[in-house]
Amino acid sequence: MSLFISDAWAQGASPFGSSPLFTFLPLVLIFVVFYYLLIRPQAKRAKEHRKMVAALSKGDEVVATGGLAGQVTEVGENFVKVEIADNVQVRIQKQAVSTVLPKGTLKRL
């Protein structure tokens, strides 16, 4: 009856045996790759952002995540007041500050 289809036979034993080390090695390697390519750089960026936010001071020129650019006029515990135009101030969360610009940048915009 098996004229066109050959019989399927079980493969021989693996050259590595059934060691748990070789079973989990691919999972460990994938985790290591994810750690160095995704987790570690993101943690480093977050640490740098926390450091930048903690160092905010009056007179700094900043850009918020929404794109607002202005000069810090007051720094509170959780919020900063940013002057975005003459006599126009907005209060934003410190964490919403994405970049601190070099001094004098706003005058050139």
Tens digit of each residue's pLDDT, the chain (109 residues): 556 777 777 666 666 656 777 788 889 999 999 999 999 999 999 999 999 999 999 999 999 999 999 999 999 999 999 999 999 999 999 999 999 999 989 888 7
Comparing CA positions, the residue from 46, 37, 38 lying closest to residue 95 is 46
Is residue 44 packed enough to be buried (19+ CB in 10 Å), middle (13-18) or exposed (0-12)? Answer: exposed
Q: Judge if pTM exceeds 0.75.
A: no
- In the CATH hierarchy, which fold is given to the domain comprising 57-108? SH3 type barrels. (2.30.30)
Q: Where are the domains of the chain?
A: 16-55, 57-108
